[in-house]
Amino acid sequence: MRGGAWKGFHVWRADFDNFLLTRAREADVHIRRPCGVVRVLLDAEIVRGVVTTEGPLRAPLVIDGSGRSRWLGRVLGIASPARSPPFIARYGYAEGSCPLRDEAPMLLGDASGWTWTVRVRERTCQWTRLSFGALPDRDWLPDEFRGLTPLARSRGTDVTWRIADRTARRS
């Protein structure tokens, strides 16, 4: 590997979620699961908290962790226009041995996009392909994963760059 040994790591999403929940409990964080947000608490157009399915929660700071659904931004009418051409990343998982990915992931760019490949757990590899033009077929696999068994059909997600017109407001 250029520049020395790989110093990053990858964690299976469910394992990472459990790790974060365990650490939060150890720090005496009160966790409400399952708990949905019903509406935002506003005072003179300042966000003061949220009303959840378990009742109101007041907070000096509210962070929208809803991802691309942008729940809070949509409720507050905050635009989030695209700042790039439309991008759809296709990704998938494959089972088997891929010695090329045992030590480090790889990001490979070419004229039509880029491909990220990585081992995410024992005998499970993941790939992501962002094409600047046409999407790869649903059955597409990176060359290095051709001998592996796909765990499901690939999926796609919108990764178009967006920036909210307003991201924070002081009370």
Between the alpha carbon of residue 20 and those of residues 3, 16, 109, the distances in Å are 31, 6, 32
- State residue 13's pLDDT score: 86
**Mean pLDDT, range 79-97, rounded to an integer:** 92
12-57 pLDDT per residue, tens: 889 999 999 999 999 999 888 888 899 999 998 889 999 999 999 9
- CA nearest to 130, candidates 99, 161, 163: 161
- Contacts of residue 27, defined as CB under 8 A and 6 or more positions apart, other chains included, come to none
Please state, in angstroms and rounded to a whole number, the distance separating the CA atoms of residues 89 and 24. Answer: 31
Q: Could you give the percent of the chain with pLDDT greater than 90?
A: 54
- State residue 103's pLDDT score: 79
Flag whether pLDDT at 93 surpasses 90.
Answer: yes
Please state, in angstroms and rounded to a whole number, the distance separating the CA atoms of residues 40 and 113. Answer: 40
Residue 111: count of CB within 10 angstroms of its CB: 6
- CA nearest to 72, candidates 102, 42, 95, 114: 42
Flag whether pLDDT at 156 surpasses 80.
Answer: yes
- State residue 68's pLDDT score: 81
- State residue 2's pLDDT score: 59
Helix (H, G, I), strand (E, B) or coil at 30: coil
Q: Which residues of 135-163 are buried (b: 16+ CB within 10 A; e: fewer)?
A: ebeeebbbebbeebebeeebeeeeeeeee
Q: Could you give the percent of the chain with pLDDT greater than 70?
A: 95
- State residue 150's pLDDT score: 93
